[in-house]
Each structure stands twice: as C-alpha cells, then as structure tokens.
C-alpha cells in the first residue's frame, strides 16, 4: 500500500480510536481545521466533536486536562503544534505527568500520549524549528519516541497507548510528506529497541527521527568511497537501547552520532558518554558528532541549511572517524 | 617497606641460589622489573619484583643459597633519605646529533634481558663491551661503566616520548598480540595508531622475527659517540668472592636435577591416581595445510607439526577444564587460562617443562615463534619465573626420538599430561577403503580425583576434531 508518513500517522490514530473508545484526540486546530499538519484531516467528521476536540491556545491548560483525563481512566492523545510551544506545558509534563506515578507510590498512572512536531528545515524560523526531544529524554518518568519511518509512524502509537506511563511522540516536520510502501497488515511495533537500518562494518552512524534519511543517503555516498557504514535508528530516546548502541560500536569500532539538536548538553553527548563508559576499549577513533549549529535556527533558507546536519557533514565526520581524508 | 623474597619457581623447589643481582641499592624498580637471577636445580631464572619502590638494601650476598620465602632485599615505597633514586632519572636534554645506527653485533658473552634493556635505554651497544661477568657475560656494571665513559649524556627522550598516540582499541589489540606500540607508525587521526596499524605491524613482525629478539632490540640505538671499547672494570656493588665459584659444576647440577625430578615424580605417582587414554590422530588435513602454508614462508619461520599439535591441545584443554588447572589442598582449581607446559629435554640430562602462556589464544605462527624461543632459552638455562611456575597442563613430545607413544607422569600440582609420539604414515581404513595417512598417537594421563575417562576422552576427541580444520587453529 502506497502511503505517506502523514497518512500513516492518521491511520494509527483512527485505528486506536476504533479499537478503544477511551481514546480521544485533542489539541489546537485538530478538529475543524484538520490539524496544523493535516494529520487529523477528516477525523472530526468520522468520530465527532466528543472525541476530536479543538482546544484553546493554552498548552498548559489542555495538557493538564489530558493528564486529568488519563488519571480518570481515559486514553488521551494530546497534540501540541510544535515542540517550542510544548515549553508552555513543560510544568504539566514534567511536574505532573512524569511524577505522579512515583509520588503516589504507583497508585496513579498517567497513560497519556502527547504527539508533537519537532525539527527545522521548512523556514519556520527560531520559534517553530527547534529539536528539544533531547531535553525531554532527560526526564525520568517519560518515554520518548521518535518515529522516523512510515512503519513506525503507523505502529508506535498503539503500543504507546498501552504504556501505563506518559509517552511523548516527536514527529519531525520534514517527514509528513515522505511517501513509501506500508504493508496492508501493518500494525503495532515495539517501542523498546533501536534498529539497524543499514548493515555496515566500518563506522556506525547513530541517529533518529528527522535525520535518518540524510544519514542513509550519506551511507550510500560513503559506500561509493568504499566505506561501509552501519546506520542505527535509535527510535526510542528514553530509555535508550544501550545494548544496540554498544553492539554496533563493538562491531565497527567507530561511531558518529547525528542529532539535529544542539551539541552542548545534548542527547548526542549522552550517547557519546555511554559509548566511552562502556565501549572504550572497542573504540578505534574518537566518537564523532554532527549536530546543529549553536544558534537559534535561522529563517533564511541558506542560513537554515547551513545550521543543520547535512549529508556532506555526515560524510566528512564518518571519513574522519575511519581515517581517510580524501 | 616491601620485601623481595626467594620465589617458588616450581612446585618442587625448596631453595634457590642467588647468582646475580640485577639492581643495586637506590635503584627504582617497577612491578615486573627483573631484580635477580636465581639458580634452581633446573636453570638460571630471571626473577621479577612484585613491589614498586626503591631498593633500600640487598640482604643476601651473591652465591648464597636461600630457602623459598627467605627475604633477599628490602624495597621502600619512597626513596629513603640519602638514597637518591638512580637509573631512572631523566637525563639533561641536550641537542641530539643525527642518530648513528649501530648494528647489533654478535656478543661473545651472554647478556641477560634486564641488562640488555638497560643498555638499550642508555644507548650502549653490548656487542662492543667486554663482559666481566661469569663466562664473559656482560653485567649491569659493565654497561653502566660504558655509559659513564661515553659521556656526554646519551640521547635524551622527548618529554612526551613515552606517550604513544593510539586508540583504545589499538592499545587493547596491541596488548593481545604483544605488539610494542612504540614501534608502530600511526595512520589514524593526527598520526594516531589504529587497530589496522597494530595488526599490520604484528603480521610484519611475525614474518621477520623468527630469529631476532623483540623489535626494541632490533632497533638501532641512538648514541652521540661510539662507546669506548675497553670500559674501566668496576665491581658491582655486591660481588661474590672471586675465589668461590657459586655455580654448581655441570655434573653436580645434573645430579641435583635428577634428584629433584625423582622427588617430584615419586610424589606424583604416590599421590595422583593416574588413568591413561590413548588415541590415534589423523594428521592428513593438518600436514597438508601446513605444507601449503610453509611454502609461503622463509625456512626460519616454517611451522612444524608440534606447533599444530600444541595449539590443538591448548584449545582442547580450554574446552575440557577438568584437565587444566591445579590440585592443591585436596581441591581442584580449574584455570581459566591455558598455560601450556612444554617438556624440553636438556642436553646435560633431565628436563624442564616451562609454559607458553595463554597458548590457546595465540595464532599458530606466534605459538611457533614462542616455542622456538622457549626451547632455546630452556636449553641455555635462562627461563623466567612465570614460565616455570605457571603451566596448567603439560605436553611431552617424544616423537623426535622415534617413540610411538608415551604415557607420562603428571607434574604436580597439575592434573593432566598429554603425550605425543612420532608422526607415522599408517594404513587407515575409512568408508570401506584403506588408505595411507600420516598419524600420531596422542595419550592423556589424567588425575582420577578430578576427571573420569569420559572427560579425558572428550579432550582427545576434541584434539582430533580441531586438527581436521587446521586453518581454524
């Protein structure tokens, strides 16, 4: 079945709503407008205003309402327009959703799923373009998912809804138009493991979400030069699949982490640290990183592109790790 | 305050005679530095320190016989007042002229490894020295005298010269392969040594060093001036009275070795309930593979069947832990490592069985090199402590003498001994056909307190299986 990342995401929501009447969707413009990225187009007509709920522009308010609904036995899917806006709801996410299970001694779970768009590349400027999923991956009590493929867009939501604790799903804005094949019987997928998207022997390119595509392209470029790169898609940023990360490093002895977030204090820093902690004697080169420039993401197209990880930068970092500088 | 004691260089050793000090008071010793040469009944053995610190006092004169455990020297953790550390102080940096390569000349007298190392670090070519030690051996004092005479100071090392830029992976692989990183040139980031560089260096070394020593010795030493040819003779700090030859005459030593072997073998037969197994190993595949590999090798680096058999025995011992380890205090302690004792007949009579360490992990060609080296040093009477004390299982090979099979006596506290006979062409029946195959009779003598015939048989069966795929050894 030919489909797109957007349609697969919508199919996942529809499937969940059909299978479980406790599931509902709410967020800014998800109803009448069909969603800011048209993910929920048509769902209002199909499921009605009780289950597809438009909210006021008040992230803290409607995320809090979602937490309350989850505590009350519902299975809410809350959509936040972009990760930048999620900061308005950070207090609810961090101080309430992430903590209640622990503070109640396990008496209250918060089975809430929050979807939001992340990432740059579409000239939406600094207030709509950042990649802050690494920040959320810092918080105990949350599970952080970054579907990078159509199959994961289709399959992660249902598994996330079965999780008794809050799950945040980050959909990179550049992925919605990605087209591809999806098996007709595609369904739920695991949300625990990282996956090798390309086998290789010379260097491990570790990435997730919006940068998976350019990393795979970089791997093909490297193959033309005789460098056999392995690509690991993290899929879940919290908890990280340490075993998969260490296994690929043990295999190739070289790692480059590609993360659209900023470098300082980032998820890429965390992965690099784990590699040096647990695989130091497997390393044949320093761990490399390709991250975004440490500036608010620029609006001007050429500046924005210059600030983001690119195929060229990934290729250069991989070459440096392998030790060829041609 | 640490103490350097007379070590037990084998299960049967009760005492040893100090025949040379390799350090003097004030020297700084690291763990593993050779500090003395001990004469056991079997060989002269270089003994290392287990302490790090400054040698405060040598308590025993050369020539003295000391029981195992007796204190030979005191080592302090910090330099005592008035005792300045010597030998390790950094020389004053001076501009270095272009290094003059000094060919490694053959020496008439022998040079012990620690003295060679000292000579190398001081830039002295021992080939030019007149040895004042026993049988013309070059001693530490000879080298130091030559170094003093060849002032100005020898070539200083760069301050960071001992820090080799290398990846963690490269360091681990270098450790596993025994490669000296200082001799490897790096091709990685900013000249860092990578795993590839180490493996390239290791394979080059194996190809060329069949007769040479370590790469460090093979390198020409950089000196500012040729060392003087006749150094002033200075006495080492502790010397033996010249009138008393401390070393037993060869006849005495052979007799004493015979006595030691007798004691140990009596104990073995009295205490260990031996059982014996024998099987014939088909060497067709192994010898065909070896012949093919040898075609590409210089004569000095060629493999012999023993190397394949030893490797197979080591791997089989790793898989059947009941034959690999020590039985002490009524308890068997299996060894994780396989230190393969190799029985070496000595020309003056008797035998020793020093260890090839971690033989199961060594590539066959490396094992071959170590076997050559070990046999050579065993016959020259220069073995190291660990080689004598560490074997976890021993192999005896009497095939050279034409013996077809050997049922050996276990060397306590080990629990098994593997016997190998002569490689013979034999008629072999297989699949209803008779053919002629090279084969060897392998036997296992094992300790019934630890294993039964079932496990012992498994060991021999594994040897047979392993030898059918020689390229995987």
Q: What number is the ipTM of this complex?
A: 0.71
CA distance B65 to B61: 9
∠ CA(B300), CA(B306), CA(B312), 5° rounding? 125
Interchain pair A283, B169: CB under 8 A: yes
Which residue in A280, A284, A320 is closest to B195 by CB distance?
A284
Q: Rounded to 5 degrees, what are φ and ψ at A223?
A: -60, -35
Does residue B187 sit at the A interface (CB-CB below 8 Å)? Answer: yes
Helix, strand or coil, per DSSP, at residue A190: coil
pLDDT tens per residue across span A192-249: 999 999 999 999 999 999 999 999 999 999 999 999 999 999 999 999 999 999 999 9
Does residue A286 sit at the B interface (CB-CB below 8 Å)? Answer: yes
CA distance B97 to B150: 15
> Which of A80-84, A91-95, A268-272, B377-381 is predicted least confidently?
B377-381
Helical pair B364-380 and B305-319, crossing angle rounded to 10 deg: 110
Chain A residue numbers with beta carbons less than 8 Å from the beta carbon of B192 are 285
Looking at per-residue confidence, does A136 or B372 come out higher? Answer: A136
Chain A residue numbers with beta carbons less than 8 Å from the beta carbon of B167 are 253, 283-285
Q: Of the listed A128, A130, A172, A253, which one is catalytic?
A: A128
Interchain pair A253, B188: CB under 8 A: no
pTM: 0.51
Does residue A251 sit at the B interface (CB-CB below 8 Å)? Answer: no
- Tell me the average pLDDT across A167-185: 96
Cis omega before residue B95 (within 30°)? no
Strand order in the sheet with B382-384: B65-67, B15-21, B34-39, B44-48, B382-384
Q: Of the listed A45, A46, A50, A59, which one is catalytic?
A: A59
Domain ranges of chain A: 2-181, 195-322
**pLDDT value of residue B158:** 46
The answer to whether A59 is a known catalytic residue is: yes
**pLDDT value of residue A263:** 96
> Residue B240: which of B106, B343, B100, B141 has the closest Cα?
B141
**pLDDT value of residue A298:** 96
Interchain pair A286, B169: CB under 8 A: no
Whether the per-residue pLDDT at A325 is higher than 60: the answer is: no
Looking at per-residue confidence, does B89 or A313 come out higher? Answer: A313
CA distance B284 to B78: 61
Average pLDDT score, chain A: 96
Sign (positive or negative) of CA dihedral B68, B70, B76, B82: negative
User: Looking at residue A296, what DSSP letter applies?
Assistant: P
Interchain pair B167, A283: CB under 8 A: yes
B418: its two tokens: 């593997």
The residue assigned the tokens 């550390």 is B85
CATH code of the domain made up of A2-181: 3.40.50.970
Cis omega before residue B419 (within 30°)? no
What tens-digit pLDDT sequence spans chain B (473 residues)?
688 888 887 767 788 888 888 888 888 888 888 888 888 877 788 888 887 888 888 888 888 888 888 888 888 865 444 444 444 444 444 444 444 444 444 444 677 777 777 776 776 777 677 777 777 778 888 888 777 776 554 444 444 555 778 889 998 888 888 888 888 888 887 788 888 888 888 877 654 443 333 333 333 333 334 444 444 444 444 444 444 444 445 566 677 778 888 888 888 998 999 999 999 999 999 999 999 988 888 887 888 888 999 999 999 999 999 999 999 888 999 999 999 999 888 877 778 888 999 999 999 989 988 888 888 888 877 787 778 878 999 999 888 778 889 999 999 889 999 999 999 888 888 888 888 989 999 999 999 999 999 999 999 999 999 999 998 88
Does residue B166 sit at the A interface (CB-CB below 8 Å)? Answer: no
- Residue A299 makes CB contacts below 8 A (sequence gap 6+) with A123, A125, A126
CA distance B416 to A197: 51
Write out chain B in H/E/C secondary structure: CEEEECCCCCCCCCEEEEEEECCCCCEEECCCCEEEEEECCCCEEEEECCCCEEEEEECCCCCCEEECCCEEEEEECCCCCCCCCECCCCCCCCCCCCCCCCCCCCCCCCECHHHHHHHHHHCCCHHHCCCCCHHHCECHHHHHHHHHHCCCCCCCCCCCCCCCCECHHHHHHHHHHCCCHHHCCCCCHHHCECHHHHHHHHHHHHHHCCCCCCHHHHCCCCCCCCCCCCCCCCCCCCCCCCCCCCCCCHHHHHHHHHHHHHHHHHHHHHHCCEEEEEEEEECHHHHHHHHHHHHCCCHHHCCCHHHHHHHHHHHHHHHCHHHCEEEECCEEEECCCCCEEECEECCCCCEECCEECCHHHCCHHHHHHHHHHHHHHHHHCEEEHHHHHCCCEEEEECHHHCCCCCCCCCCCCECEEEEECCCEEEEEEECCEEEEEEEEEEEEEEECCCCCHHHHHHHHHHHHHHHCCHHHC
**pLDDT value of residue B162:** 58
Rounded to a whole number, what is the largest CA-CA distance in chain B?
84
CA distance B106 to A233: 61
CA distance A55 to A186: 31
> CB of B181 within 8 A of CB of B164?
yes
Q: How many CB atoms lie within 10 A of CB A17?
A: 20
CA distance B471 to B473: 6
Rounded to a whole number, what is the largest CA-CA distance in chain A?
61
CA distance A297 to A306: 10
- Among residues 189-208 of chain B, which lie with CB inside 8 Å of chain A? 189, 192, 194-196
Q: Which of A284, A285, A325 to mutate to test the interface with B (most CBs of B within 10 A)?
A: A284
Sign (positive or negative) of CA dihedral A134, A108, A75, A26: negative
Percentage of chain A exceeding pLDDT 90: 97
The residue assigned the tokens 């009579």 is B349
**pLDDT value of residue B223:** 38
Does residue B432 sit at the A interface (CB-CB below 8 Å)? Answer: no
Chain B residue numbers with beta carbons less than 8 Å from the beta carbon of A320 are 189
∠ CA(B149), CA(B152), CA(B155), 5° rounding? 110
The shortest C-alpha distance from B314 to chain A (Å) reads: 27
Which residue in A253, A320, A323 is closest to B169 by CB distance?
A253
Q: Rounded to 5 degrees, what are φ and ψ at A12?
A: -65, -40
**pLDDT value of residue B50:** 80
> CB of A191 within 8 A of CB of A236?
yes
Q: How far is CA B244 from CA A96, B234, B241, in A?
A: 89, 19, 6
The residue assigned the tokens 């159509």 is A150
Which residue in A280, A281, A320 is closest to B189 by CB distance?
A320
**pLDDT value of residue B45:** 85
Given CATH 3.40.50.920, say whether it is the number of domain A195-322: yes
**pLDDT value of residue B249:** 53
CA distance B87 to B89: 6
Q: Which of B165, B166, B168, B192 to mutate to test the interface with A (most CBs of A within 10 A)?
A: B168
Q: How many CB atoms lie within 10 A of CB B163?
A: 8
CA distance B256 to B249: 11
> Which of A18-32, A67-81, A194-208, B367-381 is predicted least confidently?
B367-381
Chain A residue numbers with beta carbons less than 8 Å from the beta carbon of B188 are 284-285, 323
Q: How many CB atoms lie within 10 A of CB B450?
A: 22
B109: its two tokens: 């007298």
**pLDDT value of residue A165:** 96
Q: How far is CA B309 from CA A308, B283, B306, B368, B466, in A?
A: 60, 9, 5, 11, 9
Interchain pair B188, A281: CB under 8 A: no
> Residue A274: which of A238, A310, A302 has the closest Cα?
A238
CA distance A257 to A253: 13
Percentage of chain A exceeding pLDDT 70: 99
């Amino acid at each position: 079945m030919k489909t797109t990342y957007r349609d697969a995401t919508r199919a996942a929501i529809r499937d969940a709503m059909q299978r479980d009447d406790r599931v509902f969707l709410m967020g800014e413009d998800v109803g009448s407008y069909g969603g800011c990225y048209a993910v929920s187009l048509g769902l209002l007509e199909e499921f009605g205003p009780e289950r597809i709920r438009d909210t006021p522009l008040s992230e803290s308010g409607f995320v809090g309402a979602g937490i309350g609904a989850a505590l009350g036995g519902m299975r809410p899917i809350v959509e936040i327009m972009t990760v930048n806006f999620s900061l308005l709801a950070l207090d609810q996410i961090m101080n309430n959703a992430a903590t209640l299970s622990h503070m109640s001694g396990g008496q209250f779970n918060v089975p809430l799923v929050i979807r939001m768009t992340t990432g740059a590349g579409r000239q939406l400027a600094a207030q709509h373009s950042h990649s802050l999923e690494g920040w959320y991956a810092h918080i105990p009590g949350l599970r952080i998912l970054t579907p990078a493929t159509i199959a994961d867009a289709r399959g992660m939501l249902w598994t996330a809804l079965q999780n008794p604790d809050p799950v945040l799903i980050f959909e990179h804005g550049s992925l919605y138009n990605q087209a591809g094949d999806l098996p007709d019987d595609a369904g739920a997928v695991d949300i625990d493991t990282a996956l090798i998207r390309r086998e290789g022997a010379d260097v491990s390119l570790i990435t997730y979400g919006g940068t998976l595509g350019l990393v795979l392209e970089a791997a093909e470029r490297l193959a033309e030069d005789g460098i056999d790169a392995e690509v690991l898609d993290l899929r879940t940023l919290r908890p990280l699949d340490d075993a998969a990360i260490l296994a690929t490093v043990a295999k190739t002895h070289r790692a480059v982490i590609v993360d659209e977030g900023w470098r300082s204090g980032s998820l890429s820093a965390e992965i690099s640290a784990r590699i040096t902690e647990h695989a130091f004697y497997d390393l044949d080169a320093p761990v490399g990183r390709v991250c975004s420039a440490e500036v608010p993401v620029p609006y001007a197209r050429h500046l924005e592109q210059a600030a983001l990880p690119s195929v060229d930068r990934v290729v250069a970092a991989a070459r440096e790790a392998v030790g060829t500088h041609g | 305050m640490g103490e350097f004691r007379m070590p037990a260089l084998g299960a049967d050793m009760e005492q040893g005679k100090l025949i040379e000090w390799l350090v003097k008071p004030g020297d700084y010793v690291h763990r593993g530095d050779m500090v003395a040469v001990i004469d056991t009944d079997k060989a002269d053995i270089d003994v290392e320190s287990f302490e790090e610190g400054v040698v405060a006092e040598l308590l025993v004169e050369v020539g003295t016989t000391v029981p195992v455990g007796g204190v030979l020297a005191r080592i302090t953790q910090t330099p005592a007042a008035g005792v300045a550390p010597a030998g390790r102080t950094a020389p004053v940096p001076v501009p270095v002229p272009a290094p003059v390569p000094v060919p490694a000349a053959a020496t008439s007298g022998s040079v012990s490894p620690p003295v060679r190392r000292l000579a190398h670090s001081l830039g002295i070519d021992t080939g030019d020295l007149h040895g004042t030690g026993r049988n013309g051996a070059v001693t530490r004092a000879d080298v130091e005298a030559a170094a003093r005479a060849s002032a100005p100071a020898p070539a200083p090392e760069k301050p960071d010269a001992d820090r080799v830029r290398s990846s963690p992976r490269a360091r681990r692989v270098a450790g596993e392969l025994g490669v000296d990183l200082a001799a490897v040139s790096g091709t990685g980031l900013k000249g860092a040594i990578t795993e590839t560089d180490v493996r390239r260096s290791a394979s080059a070394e194996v190809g060329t060093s069949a007769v040479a020593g370590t790469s460090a010795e093979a390198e020409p030493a950089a000196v500012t001036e040729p060392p003087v040819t006749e150094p002033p003779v200075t006495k080492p700090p502790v010397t033996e009275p010249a009138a008393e030859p401390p070393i037993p005459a060869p006849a005495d030593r052979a007799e004493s070795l015979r006595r030691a072997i007798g004691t140990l073998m009596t104990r073995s037969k009295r205490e260990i309930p031996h059982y014996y197994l024998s099987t014939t190993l088909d060497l067709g595949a192994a010898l065909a593979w070896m012949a093919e590999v040898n075609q590409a090798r210089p004569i000095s680096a060629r493999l012999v069947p023993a190397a394949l058999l030893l490797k197979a025995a080591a791997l089989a011992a790793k898989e059947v832990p009941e034959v690999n380890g020590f039985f002490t205090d009524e308890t068997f302690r299996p060894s994780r490592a396989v230190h393969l004792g190799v029985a070496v007949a000595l020309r003056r009579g008797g035998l020793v069985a020093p260890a090839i360490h971690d033989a199961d992990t060594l590539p066959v060609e490396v094992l071959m090199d170590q076997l050559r080296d070990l046999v050579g040093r065993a016959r020259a009477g220069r073995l190291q402590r660990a080689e004598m004390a560490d074997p976890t299982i021993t192999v005896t090979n009497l095939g050279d003498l034409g013996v077809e099979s050997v049922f050996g006596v276990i060397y306590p506290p080990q629990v098994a001994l593997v016997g190998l006979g002569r490689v013979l062409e034999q008629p072999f029946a297989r699949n209803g056909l008779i053919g002629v195959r090279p084969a060897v009779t392998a036997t296992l003598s094992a300790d019934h307190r630890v294993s039964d015939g079932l496990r012992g048989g498994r060991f021999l069966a594994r040897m047979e299986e392993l030898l059918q795929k020689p390229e995987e050894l």
